[in-house]
Amino acid sequence: MDSTLAAMLVGGVATAAVLLFFAMSRKPVKCPSCGREQPKARQPDSLNQAMWGGYTCQGCGAEMDARGKLKNKK
Question: Where on the chain is the footprint of Zn ion (CB under 5 A)?
Answer: 31, 33-34, 36, 57, 59-60, 62
State which residue, 29 or 31, has the beta carbon closest to Zn ion. 31
CB of 69 to Zn ion, least distance (A): 13
Q: Which is nearer to Zn ion, 12 or 39 (CB)?
A: 39
Closer to Zn ion by CB, 9 or 60: give it: 60
Closest distance of CB 34 from Zn ion, Å: 3
User: Phi, psi at residue 7, to the nearest 5°?
Assistant: -65, -40
Count Cβ atoms below 10 Å from residue 23 Cβ, excluding itself.
8
Residue type (1 letter), 46: S
